[in-house]
Amino acid sequence: MADQFIEVDKLRDTLRESLGKDDKRQEDISRPDVLTRIESVIQTIVISVSEGEAPVLRVMNRSSWDNVRFHESVGLVQKTDVPVRTLRCDCPSSATRFALTLKLLSVIYKLVQSDSYATKRDIYYNDPQLFGSQTTLDSILDDISCMLKVPRRSLHVFATSKGFISGDLCYLEEDGTKVDCNSSSTAVPVSSNVNGIRNIVSAAKFILIVEKDATFQRLLDDAFCTRLSPCIIITGKGVPDVNSRLMVRKLWDTLHIPVFALVDADPYGIEIMCIYKYGSRSLAFEAHSLTVPSVLWLGLLPSDIQRYRVPEETLIPFSQADESKINSLRTRDYISCQPAWEREIEAMQRLKQKAEIQSLASIAPHFLTRVYLPNKLRYGGWI
């Protein structure tokens, strides 16, 4: 089995040779700087009130594709001339959002000033009736991060992680707790403070991002990390949370080893892979901290459906939502710049069928872990 990683090792060497100056993390902002930026916002409001004007807050529009551009070595980044939304305290449609933004700015200021931390859920459950929903709080927090041009980790507000990680990896949490991910049958929750992780130790040959928790659990059950040791597997359990994305980026920055993605052969699986690789519209202002443009598509490729003769009865016809999503994907610059990806997406759209990773089990119960993935890694079956 000594030759099972020859192609992976060649890829690793190529990736390390191509590391450039654009491959960098967004710098943390100092506590005094964060406080100064918040004070500047409040000062503007106070001046407006003193002059008898209704105060306003200006936040970036983070929901439009028109406000981001594609940078090949970074991913989706925010344009410099992004139009802003105005939150007015005297306008019924925005007064509530205005007040909640000020409330959250106050909470953040106290946290940064006292050098203490809170989770988003902590803040929400301190006054659930005020915010109405966790989603509202999350959105306002991202607006504030974008408005202040401060990465969210510098606001001293953490998110509870939903992702899991396993494999050849040990590290220390910021509080000194040692975390060992080397169990063959269980996984470790992704840290809620990825930025505080230090002393990362790993001999892993590659990192495998797994789209779905069910597939991740299957890899654990089949002792995948032992069979293809040394490696690291991680899942964000569907659309990844920020901590899962931060963790993949942290491992890439530290280890500089190949990062592969294992997703369903459907439009939504491809989009999830693209979030890890190139980022998202809503968090484009933090692209340098969250994206890993070197991510490669290992499977399930649409061409694999015919190559491995996946039984017809396990394939799923396209829905209208699938058709809409794939049309959207094909218009994006980060797809059109990758001919191999574009061909796979065209093939999927032509067939108007999709396949889940679990469909490989219809070929043989352990086909995914004992045939499909080992062969892909041995023979360089990624794009």
Helices of type H across the chain? 6-17, 31-50, 95-114, 120-126, 128-131, 134-148, 213-221, 224-227, 242-255, 267-278, 287-290, 302-307, 320-330, 333-336, 339-351, 367, 373-379
Query: With a threshold of 0.85, does the pTM exceed it?
Result: yes
Label residue 154 left, alpha or beta by phi (over 0 means left) and psi (-120 to 50 means alpha). Answer: alpha
- Residues involved in catalysis: 125
CATH number (domain holding residue 57): 1.10.10.10
Q: Which residues contact 102 (CB under 8 A, 6 or more apart)?
A: 45, 57
- Is 221 part of a structural domain of the chain? yes
Both 56 and 119 in one domain: the answer is yes
Both 141 and 184 in one domain: the answer is no
Q: Which residues are registered as beta bridge partners of 118?
A: 157
CA of 328: how far to CAs of 262, 270, 333, in Å? 21, 12, 11
Picking from 121, 143, 158, the residue at the C-terminal end of a domain is 158
Q: Which residues constitute the domain of residue 48?
A: 31-158
Both 139 and 282 in one domain: the answer is no
- Phi, psi (5° rounding) for residue 203? -110, 15
The pLDDT assigned to 186 comes to 83
Picking from 158, 192, 227, the residue at the C-terminal end of a domain is 158
Both 169 and 78 in one domain: the answer is no
Both 153 and 182 in one domain: the answer is no
Both 199 and 180 in one domain: the answer is yes
Rounded mean pLDDT for each run of 10 residues along the chain, 383 residues in total: 84 89 64 96 95 91 87 90 87 93 97 94 94 94 93 90 96 94 87 94 97 96 93 97 96 97 97 97 90 96 94 95 95 93 95 94 94 96 96
The pLDDT assigned to 151 comes to 87
Picking from 111, 130, 158, the residue at the C-terminal end of a domain is 158
- Is 26 part of a structural domain of the chain? no
Both 137 and 200 in one domain: the answer is no
- Phi, psi (5° rounding) for residue 202? -160, 140
Both 189 and 271 in one domain: the answer is yes
Both 223 and 242 in one domain: the answer is yes
What whole-number distance in Å separates Cα of residue 194 and Cα of residue 209? 17
